[in-house]
Chain A
Amino acid sequence: MSDWTDDPTGGDMGEATSTPTGERDGPSGKEGLTLPSEVVGEPEAKQAQAHELEPDMSQEEEAERAEEEAIEKALVAETSEGDQELSPRSATPKVELFKEAGATLRIPEGSDSDIDVEVSDDQTMIINMGPQHPSTHGVLRIMMELDGETVLRTKPVVGYLHTGMEKTGEELTYVQGATNVTRMDYLSPLNNELVFSLATEELLGIELPERAVWIRMLLSELNRMSSHLMWLATNGMDLGSTSMMIYGFRERELVLGFFEKTTGLRMNHNFIRPGGVAADLPDGWEEDVELICDTIEASLLEYEELLTGQPIFRGRTEGIGILDPDTAVALSVTGPMLRASGVPWDLRRAMPYLHYDQVDFDVIVGTYGDTFDRYAVRFNEIRESIKIVRQVVERMPAGDYRAQDKKVTPPPRARIDESMEALIHHFKVFTEGFRVPEGETYVAIESPRGELGCYMVSDGSNKPLRMHIRAPSFVNLQSLPVLLRGGLVADAIAVISSVDPVMGEVDR
């Protein structure tokens, strides 16, 4: 603004931009002439001047202006997001500031001693990051209050990708339901299908053949690998390591290629279904899986050289965004984030589902709970997943890949051409679905992001009465205000990335 005062043409520009409508051209032009040259370019000063000039204006103009203001106000009210935003410091009571006010999640009681409640509004600035920002991994919008370059308060604003999947889930039969949930966490679709299927099977009370269980474990672990590789890739990109991005995507593609061969699709498979899996594994799957394991295991050594041992990467992640274990538990944080904070909690070990109690693997636990620990936990979890996948390949039993329960399982394709009954049966299963006994259940599995839960209520019909998904990203995102507090804006990128939010799952 100061250079405008020296520039004679700059004054005109300022004038032009500060008059919003054509009607105001007359009076504002006059103001421009009467004002001293120093303030011509300053829109705020000019507005103040305009208010002083108001008595000179005719009544018509005044009415017009009032009308315009009213319209403008109505427009603002209409488009305003109001309460969802981070409110200014002056509008927040001190008690609330102590609770890390206005944030989607606050610091729990007791750890608020360092909060600078003395900072006033004019010292800080609230800036908006997203919803369209390359480092927010989708449409996450983060409002940050900054004091210089230091982040004070943060509020993630979510809901930009809300598609009402829980409502849709109530309109779809149990057969169709898996196609819906698989689109939630699009980086680990098979885990979504798995939790939905487990919840349905629990209500149905059916037993699965051994092979189906082991196939599910194989796919679940491969999916964990691909999800963590994707995370490594995007995290590398956020920290400026573009080569890591390309490598991560390259290795993930191997896994997705296997998924395509097995399920027919790279993502959104609808492969794990209530009653088993959709098809048997393709011929020669052992070699494919072995190749994936060998390739990824070898390239992990490269990544270790590229990232773990790299001084810039370490400098940008070590000691940044620390989450202590008590806060993590209080904020219901689960998954790699919780383990990075030093809490050895992995549902695969603590409350085993499928046959995780029969395989040998380590639960990776961090020490400091910083961004580097979260990186290291995910990195080493890929190795553990490889370990599990190898055991699954060794122990894969022969047999059926889905439960032979006529109620749930459609007849094999070949029977349909021969038997009218089989055709009717097939038609019934896929149009009407099957009825699930009345009841409610909560099933949780360890997804790559944390505890993925499904609370399902059945009223005895072919559609769930309520299908609630406990989304780990949604809950983990609550820790962001705590992680970012007191850090620098530049580190915020690394910290947001380390939470690993998938917006499809956050907003559902």
Chain B
Amino acid sequence: MGSDLAEVVHVGRDDYLATVASYKASGFEMCADLCAVDYMTQPNRPLPVDVTPERFEVVVNLLSLSQHRRVRIRVQVPERDPVLPSLFELYPGSEAMEREAFDLMGISFEGHPDLTRILMPEDWEGHPLRKDYAVGRVPVQFKEAPGPR
């Protein structure tokens, strides 16, 4: 399963909500997944010609239970203004997923009822899944192994 069943659609930020709404109207009852991707290291990735690559991308997976179909909606979100309208009114199930994307990638969702951090502590600084956020390491000091006596 996968590529043959799922269609991928690129939309602009302005048409995002309208496109999702039209998919919902055409029988995609469930928002299966929503996540954000940071393409900081891939500015020249292959995209359809009419799509301007931006640093962030939000990927929404819609699922149609009646037609057994999936559609993947990809939206480019610029680095300077990482804001998207929230899908909460259309799919209440996107609530926790949008909070996760906000928490880990720093994408704001306008109209989300409770946009707070969900996995990281409230006072955490930064958004860990961004590519410019270094992987934390706990320094380990290797001591000389103790001798036999």
A-to-B contact residues, CB < 8 Å: 78, 80-84, 96, 99, 101-109, 158-159, 162, 164, 166-168, 171, 198, 202, 329-334, 343, 345, 350-353, 438, 440-444, 451, 453, 455, 457, 459, 465-466, 468, 470, 474-475, 477-478, 507-508
**List of A residues within 8 angstroms of B30 by Cβ:** 329, 332
CB–CB A332/B65 < 8 A? no
B113: which A residues are within 8 A, CB to CB? 96, 99, 101, 106
Which of B29, B31, B119 is the one whose CB lies under 8 Å from A162? B119
User: In the complex, which residues of chain A have a beta carbon less than 8 angstroms from the beta carbon of B119?
Assistant: 158-159, 162, 507-508
Stretch at the interface among B11-19, B76-84, B91-99, B140-148: B91-99
A183 to B45, CA, bound (A): 31
* CB of A371, distance to nearest CB on chain B (Å): 21
Task: Given A105-B93, A330-B93, A475-B96, verify A438-B122 contact (CB < 8 Å).
Answer: no
Judging by beta carbons under 8 Å apart, are B32 and A83 in contact? no
B63-115 contacts to A, CB under 8 A, are 63, 65, 68, 70, 72, 89, 91-97, 99-100, 104, 113-114
Chain B: residues with Cβ within 8 Å of the partner, total of 50
**Contact residues, B17-70 vs A (CB, 8 A):** 29-33, 35, 37-39, 41-42, 45-46, 59, 61, 63, 65, 68, 70
Cβ-defined contact, A459 with B122, below 8 A? no
A-B pairs with lowest CB-CB distance, top 10: A332-B93, A83-B116, A470-B33, A159-B119, A468-B35, A162-B119, A331-B93, A108-B92, A466-B37, A82-B122
Residues of B within 8 A of A103 (CB): 114
B145 to chain A, nearest CB (A): 25
B interface secondary structure, majority: loop
Contacts of B129 in A (CB 8 A): 166-167, 466
How many whole Å from B130's CB to the nearest CB in chain A? 10
Are the CB atoms of A442 and B96 closer together than 8 Å? no
Which of chain A's residues have a CB closer than 8 A to the CB of B39?
465
Contact A332 B1 (CB under 8 A): no
Distance, CA A332 to CA B88, complexed state (A): 12
Q: At the interface, yes or no: B5 with Cβ under 8 Å from chain A?
A: yes
Contact yes or no, B1 A353, CB < 8 A: yes
Q: Which residues of A contact B114 (CB under 8 A)?
A: 83, 101-104
* A105-B92 CB under 8 A given contacts A81-B122, A159-B120, A345-B65: yes
Check B38 against A158 for contact (C-beta < 8 Å). no
A331 near B1 (CB under 8 angstroms)? no
Q: Which residues of chain A are near B3, meaning CB under 8 Å? A: 202, 441
Q: How far does the Cβ of A170 sit from chain B's closest Cβ, in whole Å?
A: 8
B138 contacts the other chain (CB 8 A): no
Q: How far is the CB of B95 from chain A (nearest CB, A)?
A: 5
Q: With A442-B2, A475-B97 in contact, do A330 and B122 touch (Cβ < 8 Å)?
A: no
